[in-house]
């Protein structure tokens, strides 16, 4: 269970459907530990807003005019690298999932999710975890492995410890920190430390980026 922070998690909501956007904002604002600090209706205005507000979390639709949510991921990461992005979509197609994570999203949530699921997703991603279901993680790994044949030669790969590789394999299976801790008989804080060390060594921003890197560089032996 993710503990609530002392300060509310600051969220920006981005969706071109005003009714959905306003409804989501109203419901999220009923949560004591979540504060919606802004809204936008397309990827361009979202990037400008995030640059000004620097939220903790961006809840963003995949399909939008001017600049799609997937395209906006890159520009948002440029202006606010610390902001974590959760994609909201009606589609669970693996192509959308792959592109979103490749462009820096930390999570992927279907629009028919309950408000409790959306609120918990905000908490989980704000805590530094990924919001990828095991089934979606499997699809991602299939996509990543297809890229692994294009590995660049003569690139020095930072060395991960055996334990870090164990943690990374479990992250790749879609497990959260609590599940990894149970699997490896270690504490959640130890898992967090391992994940932080992995990201620092690989110079990456999110758990799923680390999995993408590891598969591409053939650091993981995943069936």
51-75 confidence digits (pLDDT tens): 999 999 999 988 887 888 888 888 9
Q: Tens digit of pLDDT for each residue in 142-189? A: 766 665 555 554 455 678 899 999 999 888 877 888 999 999 999 999
CB 107 within 8 A of CB 117: no
Asked if the model's pLDDT at residue 216 lies above 70, the reply is yes
CB 205 within 8 A of CB 77: yes
CB 69 within 8 A of CB 62: yes
Distance from chain centroid for Cα 25: 20
Does CATH number 3.40.50.2300 belong to domain 138-216?
Answer: no
Q: How far apart are CA 38 and CA 113, in angstroms?
A: 21
Q: Map out the domains of the chain as residue ranges.
A: 9-131, 138-216
Q: Residue 48: its pLDDT value, please?
A: 94
Q: Residue 28: its pLDDT value, please?
A: 93
Q: Residue 15: its pLDDT value, please?
A: 92
CA trace torsion 75, 78, 84, 88 (10° rounding):
10
* Residue keyed to tokens 């620092």: 200
The residue ranking higher by pLDDT, 154 or 130, is: 130
Q: How far apart are CA 109 and CA 100, in angstroms?
A: 11
Right CATH number for 9-131 from 3.40.50.2300, 3.20.20.10, 3.40.50.720, 3.40.50.10710? 3.40.50.2300
């Amino acid at each position: 269970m993710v503990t609530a922070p002392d300060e509310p998690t600051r969220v920006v909501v981005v969706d071109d459907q005003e009714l959905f956007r306003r409804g989501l904002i109203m419901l999220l604002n009923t949560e004591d530990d979540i504060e919606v600090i802004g809204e936008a209706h397309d990827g361009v205005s979202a990037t400008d807003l995030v640059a000004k507000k620097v939220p903790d979390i961006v809840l963003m639709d995949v399909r939008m005019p001017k600049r799609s949510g997937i395209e906006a991921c890159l520009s948002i990461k440029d202006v606010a690298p610390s902001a974590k992005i959760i994609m909201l979509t009606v589609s669970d197609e693996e192509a959308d999932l792959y592109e979103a994570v490749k462009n820096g999203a930390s999570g992927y949530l279907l629009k028919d999710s309950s408000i409790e699921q959306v609120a918990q997703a905000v908490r989980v991603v704000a805590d530094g975890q990924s919001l990828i279901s095991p089934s979606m993680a499997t699809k991602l790994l299939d996509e990543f492995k297809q890229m692994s044949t294009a590995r660049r030669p003569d690139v020095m790969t930072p060395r991960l410890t055996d334990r870090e590789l164990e943690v990374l394999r479990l992250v790749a299976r879609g497990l959260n920190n609590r599940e990894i801790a149970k699997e490896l008989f270690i504490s959640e804080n130890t898992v967090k430390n391992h994940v932080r060390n992995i990201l620092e060594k690989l110079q990456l921003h999110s758990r799923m980026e680390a999995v993408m890197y590891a598969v591409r560089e053939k650091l993981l032996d995943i069936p």
